[in-house]
Amino acid sequence: MLHINNDSRHKSFAYRFIKSPQSPPAQIYSLGWQIQTSSVYDFDGMNRYSENGNCIFQYTLSGYGILELNGQKHILDEGSAFITVIPSKHRYYIPKDSDKWEFLFITLTGDYALSEWNKIQEQFEPVIKFKGQEEIIKYLWETYWSAANNKITDGYQTSFIAYEFIMKLYRSLNSQLINLSPVNSNIDKSIQYMKENFHHILSLDEISNFLGMSKYHFNHIFTKSVGISPWNYLTKLRIEYAAELLLSTNLTIDAIANMAGYESSNYFNKVFRKYIGTSPGKFRILYHDIEDFKLNL
């Protein structure tokens, strides 16, 4: 065993045991707990020739780093993990405006590990959120403390841990998929219900009752999944519909307000101005002669 970092708390370990199975399908290459504070910490997945075939799992504990992959930048903040292989076109680093990046990592090697990493990359997003109490994160901590306490003693053990890590990773990922399925179903149902009923005087209580859940829980899962609150989504539907009626009909603003689900035309005017920046009347004058005008909020 090679001890890389002498810090009393945050350590990194690399394993090269003579007492080891020949050509193991999965093996620990390195693992550790680090805090990086310098922008010197910067890895390019195409320029690590001595580590070809390695499979990386890195989980952020605090602060943040950046993963660049396929032309996109992903923020690696608390609870975020990324999975990648070497070589591949990726780069991860601590940006200059980040005070620190604290993380746990494990690097595996072996044909089986590489095959499974490639499968995981095909099935899941490049950055995955894990809660600290999830099985895979608990197991990573257990493995780290076993290393820190010199309880990892030969290559048979590191091969066993590597295989078990892969299995626990799959279990955690599949558990997320199972848990998300009913949420996604409820979100889809709520969106459809709002689209069909927004012209009524619809409340958050009515929508959550339709789904059979509390309005607080519904508000939480909807906002997390869609990115805006259900009330803002409902308002978006109403204002877009009102804008369409303003430009395609000669209906009065009072009538349009009622058809868009607003009991009071004064309140409708206030909400419309807040979202569009002008009154319904002025909006009609400004855009009435533009063909195929469509408002998307």
Confidence of residue 106 (pLDDT cuts 50, 70, 90): very high
Mean of per-residue pLDDT scores for the chain = 90
Average pLDDT estimate for 242-252? 92
Q: How high is the pLDDT of residue 3?
A: 46
What domains are there in the chain, each with its CATH number?
2-178 (2.60.120.280), 198-297 (1.10.10.60)
The reported pTM is 0.61
Average pLDDT estimate for 184-200? 89
Q: How high is the pLDDT of residue 163?
A: 96
Confidence of residue 260 (pLDDT cuts 50, 70, 90): very high
Average pLDDT estimate for 24-51? 95
CA-wise closest residue to 297 among 249, 256, 225, 242: 242
- H/E stretch holding 184 reads helix 155-197
Share of the chain above pLDDT 70, in %: 92
Residue 8 makes CB contacts below 8 A (sequence gap 6+) with none
pLDDT digits (tens, 9 = 90+) for 56-83: 999 999 999 999 998 899 999 999 999 9
Cβ atoms of 275 and 267 closer than 8 Å: no
Is the pLDDT at 159 greater than 50? The verdict is: yes
